[in-house]
């Protein structure tokens, strides 16, 4: 359940066709074409990267945490994991990972969950659900069949985030297992739309209480 599968990538940033920095608390929404390789780089360490994937041409088909856990027979994501869709198709395959473990159970922070988990005065704080909704509001719909709304925000991946499962089946938010320069890399098995909220969370240790930027890169593969 908790095995770390560390695999380094041979790809060099100078050969990437896309290279961008996503600041702490910002969103990133971008197509990744079938066969392209996508990397998320944790620049300063312990940054939680909340991520959703959709079929670029039919966003009703999207990443499914339940199907991914069932297909792998494992709770955590690492090199070799196939990210499954709600239709049972492989969306992306994790091909390299120098962090070793990523969460797919903890979900995204929201103003409501901040209030419930922490305190009423935390409600106005920025949260990942806000970033997701803002990204969808600005998305031009390239490749999809129409606009996307809050109903399209489903269970997400938390790359680099450490959410241990207790013996009783509960979740606990713990210090991250990442470090500066760690990355996860995946190959798209279909045309996908990637939606990231670079988590602004200040109330639990998922970001070491200090949200930081990430780097995203895309390579073409023959």
User: How many angstroms separate the Cα of 82 from the Cα of each of 76, 79, 88, 117?
Assistant: 11, 9, 11, 32
At 124 the pLDDT is 47
Please report the pLDDT score of residue 121 as a whole number: 53
Write down the pLDDT at residue 200: 73
Per-residue model confidence (pLDDT) at position 53 = 97
- Distance CA(71)–CA(92), nearest Å, equals 13
pLDDT of residue 126: 62
Judging by beta carbons within 10 Å of its beta carbon (0-12, 13-18, 19+), is residue 132 exposed, middle or buried?
buried
Please identify every stretch of the chain with a pLDDT value under 50, giving residue numbers as ranges.
Answer: 1-2, 111, 116, 118-119, 123-124
Instruction: Note the pLDDT tens digit of each residue in 191-201.
Output: 999 999 998 76
The pLDDT value recorded for residue 145 is: 54
Residue 186: its pLDDT value, please?
A: 98
Domain ranges of the chain: 24-219
Contact 206, 127 (CB under 8 A): no
Model pTM? Answer: 0.88
pLDDT (tens digit per residue) in 66-112: 999 999 998 899 999 999 999 999 999 999 999 999 988 877 665 45
């Amino acid at each position: 359940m908790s095995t770390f599968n560390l695999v380094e990538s041979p790809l060099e940033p100078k050969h990437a066709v896309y290279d961008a920095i996503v600041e702490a608390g910002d969103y990133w929404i971008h197509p990744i074409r079938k066969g392209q390789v996508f990397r998320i780089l944790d620049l300063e360490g312990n940054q939680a990267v909340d991520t959703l994937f959709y079929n670029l041409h039919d966003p009703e088909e999207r990443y499914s945490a339940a199907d991914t856990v069932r297909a792998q027979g494992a709770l955590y994501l690492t090199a070799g994991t196939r990210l499954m869709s709600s239709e049972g198709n492989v969306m992306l395959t994790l091909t390299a990972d120098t962090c070793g473990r990523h969460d797919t159970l903890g979900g995204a922070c929201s103003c409501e969950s901040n209030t419930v988990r922490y305190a009423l005065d935390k409600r106005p704080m920025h949260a990942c659900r806000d970033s997701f909704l803002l990204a969808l509001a600005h998305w031009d719909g390239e490749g999809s069949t129409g606009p996307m709304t809050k109903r399209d925000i489903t269970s997400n991946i938390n790359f680099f985030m450490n959410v241990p499962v207790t013996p009783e089946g509960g979740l606990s938010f713990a210090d991250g297992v990442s470090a500066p320069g760690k990355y996860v890399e995946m190959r798209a098995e279909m045309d996908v739309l990637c939606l990231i909220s670079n988590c602004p969370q200040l109330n639990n240790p998922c970001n070491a209480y200090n949200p930081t930027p990430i780097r995203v890169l895309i390579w073409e593969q023959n």
